[in-house]
Amino acid sequence: MTVVAQTEVTRETYWGISATEYAVFYLLAAITIFVFLYGVYRRFDRYAAGDDDPFARLDDLSTRVVEAARIALSNEKNFNRDLYGGLMHSFILWGFLTLLIATLIIMFEQYATEMLFDVAFWHGDFYLAYQFIVDAMGLLFVVGIGMAI
């Protein structure tokens, strides 16, 4: 492997793996997604076979959705009984969501802007600031997992 000096800080994709390793990665990713979707299908199939709900759960749906989003985004219920447990769950939730969003942004950049328009925006100070935030939230995620153990 040849190391090339760069003039500007940027993100390296797939660490220079070969085309075969690239294909194996996507094959394994496709198998994983298929197994996940099959599990989701089985779960919903089991739900569909159940009895009807005796309560009207879809009444005033917009208010229910707004209230659920407010509770989820504020972590209000996490801290009701246990500060330690609330912090643990918050660290895991927000760390994971940040890493998920960061991965989706990278995927969009690689498969949309680079492939279609030949435009890359992950370089220089913008990339360093982005990476610092993602790494900090990843650390919070790991701390939350450590608290859970």
* pLDDT tens for each residue of 40-56: 999 999 988 887 777 77
Torsion of CA 145, 92, 138, 123, to 10 degrees: 160
80: how many CB neighbours lie within 10 A of its CB? 9
Q: Where are the domains of the chain?
A: 14-52+79-148
**What residues have CB less than 8 Å from 84, skipping those under 6 apart?**
147
pLDDT, one tens digit per residue, over 75-96 is 778 778 888 988 999 999 999 9
- pTM for the predicted model, two decimal places: 0.68
